[in-house]
C-alpha cells in the first residue's frame, strides 16, 4: 500500500544566468513497511529528490502526497510540524547535538515531536530504543566519545524514537567501513519491518542494496528504472 | 528540555570566556563611572548637594559668578520674599596652619540658612580632607587678606568646589577679606525658571554647574568615556554572539531539520545571554561596590548603587539587542545547510 508518493516533481537551480534543471518530472511511490533505495551516479538528483521529499527544500513544481495531502503546498510551519512528527532523518554524518548525551538526544526528539508520553513512559521508550540499537550501556555518553558506527546507530534511534511514518536516510553508510555499513543497513531494514515504517534511502553502495525491498534508479534528473 | 543550559554546562570554557569579557567590560564601565562621579563631586559637591532650585547672578557677570555682584537692595528684597532663600559667595584663597603651611581652599559664606554652614566671626568650618592634612579642631588659621585669625570649629564631609576643600566663614569676615559689601549669588530652593528678577540671570542647578570653570569639559570627557564603553560593550556582545552563532549554523540547521522551531532557537540564545550577563553583572556590581567601600580616601570615587543598577540595565538591554541582531542569521539558516555542512 502506497503511503507516500511523488508526482511530476521538478527542481531547477539558477546558476548565474543559467537555469539548471536537476529534477525533470520525477514520479515514484513508497510502500508501507518497505525499504526503498534511490541509486544513481553523482549528479543524478537522488539526494535533491530525498531532501525535497523530506520537506527540507521546496520543489519547483509537482506534488508530494502524504496521507492524501499535497505537502509540497504546505507553508513553512506546516512542513516543520510534518518533519517533527511524521518524518525521521538519518544523514550522511550523524549530526548529533554535540552537547547532549545519547539519552538527551532522544529526549530532545520526543520533545520536538510533542510526544504525549509522560516522563516515565518517555524513559521507558528511550531505554527500549537504546536496547534495540544496542547502545543501552552508552546512555550517558556524549557523541564525541562514540565511534562512527555508534553515532549512526544513535542517529537512527533519534530518527525513529518518535515513531515516524517515513524514515529518510541520505547515504547513511557513506562514512562507515564495510562491516559497520552492513550493521547500519541491517538495523534500518529490521526497524522498518518491526516498526512498520516506510524508508527511503539514498545510497551509491551497491552492496547495501541487499538490505532493501525496492530499488529506484535515477539518471540525469529522471527515474530510469525500478526493481525489486 | 533546556538545551540552552545543557550547552552551557557542556561548553563551560566557551561561556566562561564570554562571561569574563562581559564582566571585565562592565566592571571597567562601573569603575570609570565611579571616577566620573567622584571627580564631579570633587569639583562641585558644594553645589550638587543643594536641593533643586534656582541660582541667580547679576546679568552683567555674563555667567561668571566671580564677576557677579548683587546689590543689597535686591538681595534684601528677594530674601524677604523667599524666606528659605540664601545669598552666598564663593572665592578661592589660602589658609596657613600653625606650622605656617599653606592650604588652598574655597571660602564660602552665606546669609543665615540651613543650606550652608553658618559660623561666627573668627570661626571657620573646613572640609574633612583638611583634617587628613593635620588640621585639628581648635587650631588657629591665618590668611594674608584677613586681619584677624580663624579658629577651626569643625569639619564637614565631602564639601568640595573646583577640586578644592570648602572653608565656611562668616559673612563679615568674608567682606573684610575681599573688600566687598555685596554677595555674588542667591539661591532659592524649589524655585523654577519662571521666577525672574530684573538685572539677575537665573540658572537651574544643572545650568549653574556648567558655569563652573572646567566642570562641563571634565564631565563631558568622562561621560564620553563611559558611554563609549557602553557602546563598545554592545558591539562586543553582538560580535561574540555573532561568532558563536556562526559556529553553530550547522547545529541550528540540524535542529531545524528535525523540526525544532526557530523561536526555540532564539529562546536558547536569549537564555544563554541572560544567564551569562546576569552572572557577569552581579559579580561586577558587587566588586565595584566593594571598591567603592575600600577606595583610597584621596581618590575621587563615588558610585551609588542606583547608578550601578542603571548601567546594569543598559548592559542588559544592549546585550539583548546585540544578541538578537546577531541571532537574526538563525532565521536564515535552512535545514539543508546542516546536511551540506558536514559534522556539527
The bridge status of strand A2-15 relative to strand A61-66 is antiparallel
Contact between chains at A100 and B3 (C-beta distance less than 8 A): yes
Residue of higher predicted confidence among A15 and A38: A38
Tell me which residue in A85, A94, A108 faces B3 most closely, judged by beta carbons. Answer: A108
Distance (Å) from the alpha carbon of B224 to chain A's nearest alpha carbon: 42
Q: Collect all residues of chain A within an 8 Å Cβ-Cβ radius of residue B338.
A: 91, 95
Q: How far apart are CA A115 and CA A162, in angstroms?
A: 7
Lowest pLDDT segment from A103-112, B134-143, B333-342: B333-342
CB A52 within 8 A of CB A45: no
Distance (Å) from the alpha carbon of A34 to chain B's nearest alpha carbon: 22
Tell me which residue in B11, B259, B342 faces A84 most closely, judged by beta carbons. Answer: B259
CA distances from A69 to A10, A60, A74, A78, A138 (A): 18, 18, 9, 12, 40
Helices then strands (H, E): number in chain B?
A: 11, 10
Angle of the B262-294 helix axis to the B249-257 helix axis, nearest 10:
140
pLDDT at residue number A103: 96
Q: Collect all residues of chain A within an 8 Å Cβ-Cβ radius of residue B1.
A: 104, 107-108, 111
Three-class SS state of A26: strand
Given CB atoms, is B21 within the 8 Å cutoff of chain A? no
Residue written as cell 541487499?
A210
B306-343 pLDDT, tens per residue?
A: 989 988 898 888 888 878 887 787 787 777 765 565 44
* Rg, chain A, Cα only: 17
B1-60 pLDDT, tens per residue?
A: 689 999 999 999 989 998 998 899 899 989 988 988 888 888 888 999 999 999 999 999
pLDDT at residue number B343: 47
CB B139 within 8 A of CB B133: no
pLDDT at residue number B341: 56
Mean pLDDT, residues A198-221: 91
Three-class SS state of A137: helix
CB A181 within 8 A of CB A152: no
CB A89 within 8 A of CB A54: yes
- Altogether, the residues listed in chain B come to a count of 344
Given CB atoms, is B259 within the 8 Å cutoff of chain A? yes
CB A178 within 8 A of CB A154: no
Residues 153-212 (A) with a CB less than 8 A from some CB of B: 158, 170
Q: Collect all residues of chain B within an 8 Å Cβ-Cβ radius of residue A114.
A: none
Tell me which residue in B255, B260, B336 faces A57 most closely, judged by beta carbons. Answer: B336
Given CB atoms, is B13 within the 8 Å cutoff of chain A? no
Distance (Å) from the alpha carbon of B252 to chain A's nearest alpha carbon: 10
Contact between chains at A98 and B9 (C-beta distance less than 8 A): no
Three-class SS state of B269: helix
* Residue B344, pLDDT above cutoff 50: no
Nearest chain B alpha carbon to A88: B258
Given CB atoms, is A80 within the 8 Å cutoff of chain B? yes
B214-229 pLDDT, tens per residue?
A: 788 888 888 888 888 8
Contact between chains at B338 and A104 (C-beta distance less than 8 A): no
Mutation target to probe the A interface, by most A beta carbons within 10 A, among B4, B259, B262 is B259
Query: Across-strand partners of A111?
Result: none
pLDDT at residue number B246: 80
Residue A200: pLDDT band (50, 70, 90) is very high
Residue written as cell 553523482?
A42
Mean pLDDT, residues A151-171: 93
> Nearest to residue A38, comparing CAs of A184, A223, A165?
A223
Lowest pLDDT segment from A143-152, B98-107, B165-174, B211-220: B211-220
pLDDT at residue number A15: 79
Given CB atoms, is A98 within the 8 Å cutoff of chain B? yes
Sheet strands (E) in chain A: 2-15, 18-31, 35-40, 61-66, 69-70, 87-90, 166-170, 198-202, 214-219, 222-227
> Nearest to residue A135, comparing CAs of A145, A125, A144, A127?
A127
Query: Across-strand partners of B301?
Result: none
Lowest pLDDT segment from A60-69, A180-189, B119-128: A180-189
In chain B, % of residues over pLDDT 70: 97
Q: What is the CATH number of domain A2-227?
A: 3.40.50.300
* Residue A199, pLDDT above cutoff 90: yes
Lowest pLDDT segment from A51-60, B88-97, B175-184, B321-330: B321-330
Dihedral through CA A129, CA A133, CA A136, CA A140, nearest 10? -90
Residue of higher predicted confidence among A174 and B189: B189
Residue written as cell 577651626?
B152
Tell me whether residue B23 is exposed, middle or buried, using C-beta atoms within 10 angstroms of its C-beta: 0 to 12, 13 to 18, 19 or more.
buried
* Residue B237, pLDDT above cutoff 80: no
- Taking one residue from A and the other from B, the number of pairs with CB-CB distance under 8 angstroms is 70
Lowest pLDDT segment from A74-88, B63-77, B96-110, B237-251: B237-251
pLDDT at residue number A110: 95
In chain A, % of residues over pLDDT 70: 99
Nearest chain A alpha carbon to B250: A95
Q: Collect all residues of chain A within an 8 Å Cβ-Cβ radius of residue B250.
A: 95
Contact between chains at A91 and B338 (C-beta distance less than 8 A): yes
In chain B, % of residues over pLDDT 90: 50
Amino acid at each position: 500500500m502506497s503511503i507516500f508518493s511523488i508526482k511530476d516533481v521538478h527542481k531547477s537551480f539558477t546558476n548565474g544566468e543559467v537555469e539548471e534543471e536537476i529534477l525533470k518530472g520525477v514520479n515514484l511511490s513508497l510502500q508501507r513497511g518497505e525499504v526503498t533505495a534511490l541509486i544513481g551516479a553523482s549528479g543524478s538528483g537522488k539526494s535533491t529528490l530525498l531532501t525535497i521529499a523530506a520537506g527540507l527544500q521546496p520543489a519547483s513544481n509537482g506534488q508530494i502526497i502524504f496521507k492524501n495531502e499535497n505537502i509540497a503546498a504546505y507553508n513553512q510551519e506546516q512542513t516543520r510540524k510534518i518533519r517533527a512528527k511524521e518524518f525521521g532523518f538519518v544523514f550522511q554524518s550523524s549530526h548529533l547535538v554535540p552537547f547532549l548525551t545519547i539519552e538527551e538526544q532522544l529526549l530532545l526528539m520526543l520533545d520536538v515531536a510533542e510526544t504525549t508520553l509522560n516522563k516515565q513512559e518517555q524513559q521507558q521508550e528511550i531505554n527500549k530504543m537504546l536496547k534495540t540499537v544496542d547502545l543501552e550501556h552508552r546512555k550517558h555518553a556524549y557523541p564525541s566519545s562514540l565511534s562512527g558506527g555508534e553515532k549512526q546507530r544513535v542517529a537512527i534511534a533519534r530518527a525513529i524514537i518518535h515513531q515516524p511514518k517515513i524514515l529518510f536516510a541520505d547515504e547513511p553508510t557513506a562514512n562507515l567501513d564495510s562491516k559497520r555499513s552492513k550493521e547500519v543497513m541491517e538495523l534500518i531494514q529490521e526497524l522498518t519491518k518491526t516498526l512498520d515504517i516506510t524508508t527511503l534511502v539514498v545510497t551509491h553502495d551497491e552492496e547495501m542494496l541487499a538490505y532493501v525491498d525496492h530499488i529506484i534508479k535515477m539518471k540525469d534528473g529522471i527515474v530510469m528504472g525500478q526493481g525489486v | 528540555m533546556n538545551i540552552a543550559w545543557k550547552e552551557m554546562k557542556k561548553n563551560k570554557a566557551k561561556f566562561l570566556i564570554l562571561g569574563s569579557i562581559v564582566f571585565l567590560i562592565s566592571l571597567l564601565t562601573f569603575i570609570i563611572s565611579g571616577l566620573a562621579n567622584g571627580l564631579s563631586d570633587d569639583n562641585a559637591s558644594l553645589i550638587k548637594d543643594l536641593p533643586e532650585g534656582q541660582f541667580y547672578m547679576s546679568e552683567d557677570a555674563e555667567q561668571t559668578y566671580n564677576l557677579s555682584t548683587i546689590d543689597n537692595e535686591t538681595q534684601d528684597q528677594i530674601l524677604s520674599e523667599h524666606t528659605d532663600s540664601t545669598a552666598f559667595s564663593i572665592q578661592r584663597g589660602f589658609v596657613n596652619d600653625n606650622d605656617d603651611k599653606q592650604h588652598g581652599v574655597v571660602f564660602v559664606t552665606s546669609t543665615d540658612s540651613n543650606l550652608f554652614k553658618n559660623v561666627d566671626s573668627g570661626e571657620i568650618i573646613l572640609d574633612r580632607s583638611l583634617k587628613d592634612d593635620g588640621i585639628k579642631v581648635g587650631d588657629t588659621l591665618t590668611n594674608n587678606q584677613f586681619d584677624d585669625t580663624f579658629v577651626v570649629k569643625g569639619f564637614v564631609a565631602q564639601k568640595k568646589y573646583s577640586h578644592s576643600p570648602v572653608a565656611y566663614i562668616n559673612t563679615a569676615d568674608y567682606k573684610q577679606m575681599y573688600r566687598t559689601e555685596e554677595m555674588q549669588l542667591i539661591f532659592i530652593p524649589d524655585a523654577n525658571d519662571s521666577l525672574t528678577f530684573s538685572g539677575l540671570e537665573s540658572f537651574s542647578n544643572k545650568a549653574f554647574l556648567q558655569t563652573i570653570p572646567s566642570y562641563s569639559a571634565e564631565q563631558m570627557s568622562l561621560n564620553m568615556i563611559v558611554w563609549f564603553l557602553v557602546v563598545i560593550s554592545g558591539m562586543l556582545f553582538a560580535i561574540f554572539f555573532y561568532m558563536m552563532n556562526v559556529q553553530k549554523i550547522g547545529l541550528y540547521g540540524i535542529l531545524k531539520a528535525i523540526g525544532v522551531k526557530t523561536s526555540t532557537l532564539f529562546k536558547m540564545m536569549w537564555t544563554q545571554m541572560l544567564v551569562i550577563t546576569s552572572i557577569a553583572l552581579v559579580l561586577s556590581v558587587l566588586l565595584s561596590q566593594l571598591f567603592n567601600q575600600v577606595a583610597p580616601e584621596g581618590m575621587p570615587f563615588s558610585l551609588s548603587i542606583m547608578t550601578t543598577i542603571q548601567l546594569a540595565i543598559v548592559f542588559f538591554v544592549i546585550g539583548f539587542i546585540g544578541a538578537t541582531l546577531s541571532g537574526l542569521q538563525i532565521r536564515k539558516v535552512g535545514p539543508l545547510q546542516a546536511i551540506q555542512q558536514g559534522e556539527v
